Amino acid sequence: MATKGETLDAVDEVIAHWERMREYAGKQERTAIVNMDEMACDIGEDWLGDSCSLCELFVTEDAFCVGCPLDQIGENCNESHSIWGYVNDAATWGEWLARSEAMTDSLQEARRRVADGVNMKGVWIGAHSSLN
């Protein structure tokens, strides 16, 4: 299980990753069709789990997302109603850019909660937690 420091580092990496992708998307024609492969070719980044530092920490052969800060705030990326799924379903770069703002907002909230030692129910993550 990841430490609090490892988790904060991973969240920071993912926030920076999404900001770089948003910068790229912001330079695209708003009505153009989203092309993840083109983004990956142009900037070496995409929004799949293989590119996510949180997935590296919290996706194992035995469990998906257990302990992930996004899961802790109710945004498990594997669920169809997740913010990630909403971004992934965007048809145009304009939609992707607008929807990805919600993803970065969720990541910021997840980071605040990890830093404060709080899970999604507002319960203090105590001294016996692996997040310390």
pLDDT confidence of residue 131: 43
Q: Helix (H) and strand (E) counts for the chain?
A: 6, 0
pLDDT confidence of residue 2: 83
Residue with tokens 């404060």, as numbered in its chain: 116
Q: Answer whether residue 129 is part of any domain.
A: no
pLDDT confidence of residue 132: 39
Q: Does pTM surpass 0.85?
A: yes
Q: Answer whether residue 45 is part of any domain.
A: yes
Comparing 63 with 84, which gets the higher pLDDT?
Answer: 84
User: What percent of the chain has a predicted confidence (pLDDT) above 70?
Assistant: 89
Domain that holds residue 51: 4-116
Per the structure block, which two tokens stand in for 87? 């971004």
The Cα–Cα gap between 57 and 67 comes to 9
Q: Answer whether residue 74 is part of any domain.
A: yes
Q: Answer whether residue 124 is part of any domain.
A: no
Number of domains in the chain: 1
Q: Which whole number is the average pLDDT over 111-130?
A: 63
Q: Which of 13, 42, 10 has its CA nearest to residue 25?
A: 42
Q: Answer whether residue 130 is part of any domain.
A: no
Q: Answer whether residue 58 is part of any domain.
A: yes
pLDDT confidence of residue 64: 80
Residue with tokens 């692996």, as numbered in its chain: 130
Q: Is the pLDDT of residue 123 over 80?
A: no
pLDDT confidence of residue 61: 83
Q: Answer whether residue 125 is part of any domain.
A: no
Q: What is the pLDDT of residues 19-75, one digit of tens each?
A: 999 999 999 999 999 999 999 999 999 999 999 999 999 998 887 888 899 988 888
Per the structure block, which two tokens stand in for 94? 């304009």
Q: Answer whether residue 132 is part of any domain.
A: no
Q: Which of 35, 31, 9, 5 has its CA nearest to residue 21?
A: 35
